[in-house]
Structure 1
Amino acid sequence: MARRRHLLIPLLICSLLLGACSRVGLAYRNLDVIIPWTLNDYLDMNREQKSWFNQRLQLHLSWHCTTQLPGYLDWLDRLQSMVQSDQVSDEALQQRTREAKQAIAETARQIVPSAVELLQGLDDGQVAEMNNALAKDQQEHREQYLKPSLAQQVEQRSQRMSKRLKSWIGPLSPSQQRRIEQWSASLGEQNQQWVANRIHWQAQFSAAVAQRQNSDFPQRIEQLLVNREQLWTEDYRQAYARTEQAARHLLVDLMATSSLEQRQRLLKKIDGVRQDFAELKCLQNARQAPP
């Protein structure tokens, strides 16, 4: 919704699909605890709402683990194969990205009815609180991403990317670090377009929730959660295409200049994420169940 834009998606996407945490299985096992805390940043649910939400969350997690995780394992296999065979190309990364987006959309589509029911049950005080939280979120993003000078934004973006990459492939060579700096500089004022689009999305979300009893509310929430790209600003739509392309080119170049040690570390990290998923009890139980 605000910081992560969607009601029930927060870590369910970032941690599960993209492996943002090095121990994804641990994050997954605790989603039923983490997600309510995330929601509490924006909503003060009453006891009845919390009880309903916890029951619905367990159903979603069970569905996700048994129906979606097998596909994630296949996705990680394809990613690992790309690295092992030295086939990290722009075309291959585009395909992995399309697959990831499809997985995200499938999960978003599944939780739409629950998001609709939860939002329709909010009273005016809760909606006002949510809107205040969104306004605070917007101010925080302006302060963090727009207040620094453009040169500082470029440097901070480079530092964030370097930190993420180091966790996956280890220490970067001087030429790799320079390539990251070049990538960051090429994005220019991308922060401005990203924050503006975030605020634009949140405004549409707030407008929809204000009319949550209207008959078209479920369709509006589905568009906001599943087909959100249709609601992007034109500036961000163009910027996103450039940003995605620049990221792919960066990864291709970094892998082309990677050392054997870096590739081995990356393969080990991918394998670790895969193992975390494979060892989840809910997935093992699903595989053992009779057809």
Structure 2
Amino acid sequence: MLRRLKLLIVLLSLSLLLSGCSRVGLAYRNLDIIIPWSLNDYLDMHAGQKSWFNDTLKEHLAWHCTTQLPGYLDWLDRLQQMVDNNQVTDDALQTRTVEAKQAIAEVAREITPSAIQLLQGLDDQQVKDMSDALAKDLRKRQDEYLKPPLEQQIKERAQRMSKRLDAWMGPLSASQQNRVTAWSISLGEQNEQWIGNRARWQAQFIDAVQQRQSADFAQKMQQLLVDRESLWPAQYKVAYAQTETAARSLIVDLMAESTVQQRMKLTQKIGGVRSDFKALKCLKAAGNT
């Protein structure tokens, strides 16, 4: 639940990680509505908690817009330069990925104290309801991503990637589509690894929240929300690194085969995201201070 809060803020900001939001600025301006609405699926807060949460969320969003978004604009500039200069290489993508992870970690560090305060104030029924909601969400993901035969999982993964790419580059050529299919095949049973790791994280999270009055609760939450990779089994760390490598290789190959029209569309999309961010009132206000 709180992991979703963190990811909502960052993924809506680092908009190139989104697949379907054509107006990033509109989504960002409405995070104060989107985030509470999303959390309603996991946590039924009483009036006092809602009031505190909404006030705290506004403070975090103001901090994010004034201190983090300027860096995202620079990140988008560097991304656009890669495309314009035909320098979409593995090394460059690794650098952009590290920068994105650093941005996510910065947000996690900022919101974790508030998350701890909220969780420590939950009653036993709220914790039970949250646990049940997380379990339901996990079962839904298992049904969607694990129940189909492996061949279907691979096909659907390729379809999801093609849809994302189409939104940013336009229609793929037959050769590019074949490369996407090969990428999906190479990941094999990645769905099982991903869902399995999510299940482990949720179990650790709920176990910690059930002991929310313990002396080491804050330390546990810090690890779960900020340093979660330290909790990954060695096997999953290897699998995750391989998944990242495969994704970078896919992007490098697709860009090497890209047409002028595809690169133009990608550049326009990046520019549109940048314009949406620059138009935000909170960012303009920060620039005038």
Normalised to the residue count of structure 1, the TM-score between the two structures is 0.97
* 2:18 pairs with 1:8: no
CA contact (8 A) 1:8 1:115 kept: no
Residue 152 of structure 2 is aligned to residue 152 of structure 1: yes
What secondary structure is seen at the aligned counterpart in 2 of 1:102?
helix
More displaced stretch, 125-134 vs 226-235: 226-235
Q: Is 2:157–2:184's contact at 8 Å kept on the other side of the alignment?
A: yes
TM-superposed CA distance for 1:18, in Å, is 3.4
1:271 aligns with 2:283: no
After superposing the two structures, state which structure 1 stretch, 51-60 or 227-236, moved more. Answer: 227-236
* Aligned alpha-carbon RMSD (Å): 0.9
Mapping for residues 1-291 of structure 1, pairs under 5 Å: 1=1, 6=3, 8-19=5-16, 20=18, 21-289=21-289
Which piece of structure 1 moves more, 11-20 or 192-201?
A: 11-20
> What amino acid is aligned across from residue 152 of structure 2 in structure 1?
Q
Contact 1:7–1:115 (CA under 8 A) maintained in structure 2: no
Indicate how the Cα distance of structure 1 residues 144 and 7 shifts in structure 2: closer, same or farther if over 3 A, else same: closer
- SS of structure 1 residue aligned to 2:13: coil
Q: Which runs of 4 or more aligned residues in structure 1 lie more than 3 Å from their structure 2 counterparts after TM superposition?
A: none
Displacement after TM superposition at 1:7 (Å): 5.1
Q: CA deviation at 1:10?
A: 3.5
Number of equivalences:
286
How many angstroms does 1:216 deviate by?
1.1
**Structure 2: runs of 5 or more not aligned:** none
Q: Which amino acid aligns with 2:85?
A: S
- Structure 2 length normalisation: TM-score? 0.97
Residue 57 of structure 1 aligns with an amino acid whose one-letter code is: L
Q: CA deviation at 1:140?
A: 0.6
Cα gap change, 1:271/1:238 in structure 2, threshold over 3 Å: closer, same or farther?
A: same
Counterpart amino acid of residue 282 in structure 2: C
8 Å CA contact 1:105, 1:226 repeated in 2? yes
Equivalent residue letter for 1:258:
S
